[in-house]
Structure 1
Amino acid sequence: MKVLDCKQSRELEQSAVDSGISYLELMENAGAAAVRFLRKKFSLSGRKVVILCGKGNNGGDGFVAARKLSELGVAVMVVIADGLPHTDLAKTVFSRLKDTSVKILDGAENGERVEAAVSSADFIMDAIYGTGFHGCAPDHMLPLFHAVQNSAAVVVSLDIPSGANCDSGAVDGECINADYTITFSTLKNGHLIYPAKKYCGQVAVAPIGIDANLISSQKSSLELTELSQAQSLMKPRDPLSNKGTYGRLLCICGSEGMAGAAVMSAKAAVRCGAGIVDVALPRTIYPIVASQIVEPVHTLLDYLPDGTMLSDSRSALQKALQKAKVCLIGCGLGCGKETARIVCEIVSDSKVPLIIDADGINVLAENINILKTVRVPVVLTPHPGEMARLMKTTVEDVQAHRFEYARSFAAQYNVILVLKGAGTLIAEPNGMVHLNPTGNAGMAKGGSGDVLAGMLASFIAQGNDPVAAAVGAVYLHGEAGDRCARRFSQYAMLPTDMIEMLPGLFLELER
């Protein structure tokens, strides 16, 4: 689904104007669309609507909505929230209010009256800042923001809640907390990226007369994943195929005390259709892993007391990598000196696509330039803590700049970067970022990432494009998690439950 930033939204509007529609018509259509949304959703008879209008074009949309509502007999008050309109468009539509029943209050001169109106309103429309806002809301606006917060009214923001950054999703101060956000023509970055997303409430995309072909052709750098993209991974199977048709996956996973990571990643890989899954793991944990999943083959690795891998095991691991179509490395692997050597050798020498997770990422954080020497597709799947290690920063910083860090890292190191968390991001080296809409907080348990890594590796092993596999696997992983939450609750659901949800999910997609 198309998602635009502020600059791209302006480019789209300019394309529409070039095709024959005026900016004034677009503003009129936006205000009318906001009113249609309210009428469809609520009964407005006898209700009071307060519209908070800024001095830019977002305020202009609010002025149009006020006029349209007054024509329907609705009691409307416009609050001039931050000074009189200063754009020509906003001035034009503001002037059209003079012959209507709309009451107008200057917020700067009538603070107590404005707060009383907001407090008694049934609906508050936020048309203060819009998509061009960045930084913090000024101090003189905070009493109004607080009045909105304390009101029992239904709050509807136009385009994006005032105080939120449209491009980055940042909220660097106070922000209107909307029940609904009406955005025009397309979704915007801030509707999907936390923390702005949590202020948007339910988001509705309203058409304002821009041709669908113009929208589809508009360049964007963020895409919301849809079910069809995940479904594209489920290709019909050839009746004459065999296990070799669907790829051989090597999983270098697990260590003493971390056998479960090997089990979950391998089980997820098998469930997602890989033809052969070869799990390379220490011989000491083989009985645990083999007792939990019988489908994979195993490459058993032996170590000296000091942790050094025996030469025969090193040769066996190299042979396993040569036979594989794709390699997953890192789940539960540990971060010892020998592990670091193995990860660096595999990453440097691999001739097949690599999925690097967990401890594989932690090793790379200390040997990051190895990525610049790799000549095969690489997918990294860090959670925020691992991403912080890669970027030499804090988790809080990563969470505040998820979009920017994911995109810049993918471009700098020519990898596909899957930054996990609420709204997992899949960043391509070319700058495109895919945002995943599925998943829930019940997935925040150890093992969920192992399941995702196994799923993703399995889809690549079957011949899917690595980007498509990452986008689709993340969606399906989240959908399985959502089904678990509905069945078991977010508290009780387990990562292994997600694996057990996959057969039913895949059956629906195959049909």
Structure 2
Amino acid sequence: PKTAYRLIGESETVVDAVYGTGFHGILPPEIADLIRFTNHLGKKIFSLDIPSGMEADNVCVPEICMDAFATIAFAAYKPAHRLAPTAFLCGEITLADIGIEESAYETVTPSVVILTEKEIQTMAKKRPENGNKGTFGRLVNICGSFGMSGAAVLSTKAALRSGAGLVTLATTERLAQALIPTLIESTMLPMKENADGGISAEDTEKLLSEIEKSQAVLIGCGMGNREDTKKLVEAVLKTEKTVLVDADGINSVKDSIPIIRDSKASVILTPHIGEFSRLTGKDIPTVQKNRYALAKAFAAENGVTLVLKDSVTLIASPDGRLAVHSNENSGLAKGGSGDTLAGIIASLCAQGYAPAQAAAVGVYLHGAAAANTASRLSKHSMLASDVIDDLAFAFKKIE
């Protein structure tokens, strides 16, 4: 060890080849100390394949790893090379051909798909010019409560802007009346209000009758985590529609996972890290460190499409596939961003997209729209409602 410290101290350049893509877990103390020493000196570090201490398929920054000036990736890029925040620790990345035949890649199914504009263009459905409202589907959006009317507005407007033929907002009678002048393109299904100002479960049969005429359902935005919310979510999950459960819809059934697992519906869950922590019963640091594995396992075990929202958003399918979208935009760290995303994805479901396809396209469109909003208005000043306006820009990129 003394020799290693001396040689590193005397060198201008360090070649890091301690660990490769097979590394998982925690570094041995003596290696961790050596890496800290090397990073502290500020040498130009060239990492082979992956900076030592970093896990190739995990984009969470490890406690300690080489902070590379440049990384030479062997044969193919790994998730940690391409996605923030680990990509920043790789420095300049060069892909090196190590002699693997091109045909070999055709036999391999990638464990992770990184969503790009080109990838999304292959998923996007073409709108038939001779279509009508029925062609583009009906969505029932069950959301809102006293004090949370914004969730109803944002999710409904996002759904309308994303192309659904007809969007019906199911909310309390008081909110429905108040929002008629704002949501002029949607229809309303006024529901009874409970003592807390939320949607009452008394009108469940009325709601199910409306859902029967739809292709997709969104439930949860701004509903409040209350018993009536849980009852409504349970009822909706017994339908055979595509159902996106967001926000308080997720919180209301966090202790009743079998309700989700045994659902007749095709279920999409869109939790942020905190909500997913409550769903899994694991603390937030554990979720952040193991989110790839946890997301894949949860989706597979419960038969759902999981959209785990963060600056790097994961889309896990029940069949084990995982798609990733990196969208570092602090302008989205504001109230209403999740409601907007939920409306986009649910609208795509109503138009006939499969759940994982709708989630991938929706996450990408939301990110693309938000990037345009930030360039127009700044990340400080942009609002979720501004992002909805910029969805037109995002859709033009993939049409």
Please confirm whether the aligned pair reaches a TM-score higher than 0.5, indicating the same fold.
yes
Match of 2:343 in 1: 454
Between 390-399 and 188-197, report the one with greater CA deviation: 188-197
Q: Partner residue of 2:319? A: 430
1:338-353 aligned within 5 A: 338-348=228-238, 350-353=239-242
Deviation digits for residues 121-176 of structure 1 (CA, Å, limit 9, x no counterpart)? 2x443222121223333333345423432344443322111111224446554211
Cα deviation, 1:436-494, whole Å, max 9, x if unaligned, reads: 13342321111111111111011111111221111111111112222222222222221
* Alpha-carbon distance in structure 2 between the residues aligned to 1:242 and 1:225: 30
Residues of 1 paired with 2:155 and 2:179: CA distance? 11
Residue 116, structure 1, aligned to residue 5, structure 2: no
Say whether 1:227 aligns with 2:105: no
1:177 and 2:67 aligned? yes
What residue number does 1:502 align with?
A: 391
CA distance in 1, matches of 2:235, 2:8: 67
Partner of 2:200: 309
1:297 maps onto 2:187 in alignment: yes
Tell me the SS of whatever aligns to 1:278: strand
Q: Secondary structure at the match of 2:55?
A: coil
2:111 partner letter: S
Alignment of 1:387-398 (within 5 A): 387-398=276-287
Range with bigger deviation, 469-478 or 285-294: 285-294
8 Å contact 2:240–2:266 — kept in the other structure?
Answer: no
Q: Secondary structure at the match of 1:436?
A: strand
Q: What TM-score do the two structures reach when normalised by structure 2?
A: 0.92
Aligned residue number for residue 186 of structure 1: 76
Tell me the alpha carbon deviations over residues 16-36 of structure 1, each in whole angstroms, 9 at most, x when there is no partner: xxxxxxxxxxxxxxxxxxxxx
CA contact (8 A) 2:277 2:284 kept: yes
TM-superposed CA distance for 1:233, in Å, is: 4.9
Counterpart residue number, 2:48 = 158
- Counterparts of 1:320-399 in structure 2, within 5 Å, are 320-348=210-238, 350-399=239-288
Distance across 2 between alignment mates of 1:383 and 1:275? 28
Using the alignment, how far apart are the partners of 1:322 and 1:358 within structure 2?
23
How far apart, CA to CA, are the structure 1 residues paired with 2:225 and 2:4? 63
In the TM superposition, what whole-angstrom CA distance separates every residue of 1:190-222 from its partner, at most 9, and x where no partner exists?
335676444223444332222222113213321
Do structure 1's residue 278 and structure 2's residue 278 form an aligned pair? no
Larger Rg belongs to: 1
Q: Quick one: which of 20, 23, 29 aligns to 1:130?
A: 20
Native 8 Å contact 2:219 2:233 kept in 1: yes
Deviation at 1:264, TM superposition (A): 0.7
Q: TM-score, normalised by structure 1?
A: 0.73
Match of 1:247 among 124, 137, 158: 137
Q: 1:444 aligns with which of 333, 339, 343?
A: 333
CA offsets 1:246-297 (integer angstroms, 9 cap, x no match): 0000000111111111111111111110000001011111244333331110
Structure 2 vs 1, CA of residues 242 and 314 (structure 1 numbering), >3 Å: closer, same or farther?
same
Amino acid of the structure 1 residue aligned with 2:35: F
Which secondary structure state, in structure 2, belongs to the residue aligned with residue 332 of structure 1? coil
**Does structure 2 conserve the Cα–Cα contact (< 8 Å) formed by 1:115 and 1:144?**
no
Per mean C-alpha deviation after superposition, the further-off stretch among 465-474 and 107-116 is 107-116
Structure 2 residues not aligned, in runs of 5+ = none
**Residue of structure 1 in register with 2:30 after alignment:** 140
Deviates more, 1:275-284 or 1:169-178: 169-178
| Secondary structure at the counterpart of residue 180 of structure 2 | helix
Contact 2:365 2:395 in 1 (8 A): no
- 1:187 and 1:288, CA in 2 relative to 1: closer, same or farther beyond 3 A? farther
Structure 1 gap ranges (5+): 1-106
**Whole-angstrom distance in 1 between the partners of 2:86 and 2:199:** 49
Asked whether the equivalents of residues 344 and 362 of structure 2 are also in contact (C-alpha less than 8 Å), the reply is yes
Residue in 2 that maps onto 1:404 = 293
Describe the SS at the equivalent of 1:148: helix
- Local SS of the residue matching 2:326: coil
3-state SS in 1 of match to 2:175: helix
Deviates more, 1:140-149 or 1:448-457: 140-149
Equivalent residue pairs, number? 398
Aligned-pair identity (%)? 37
Between 1 and 2, higher relative CO (CA 8 Å, sep ≥ 6) is seen in 2
**Contact residue 120 and residue 360 of structure 2 kept, 8 A:** yes
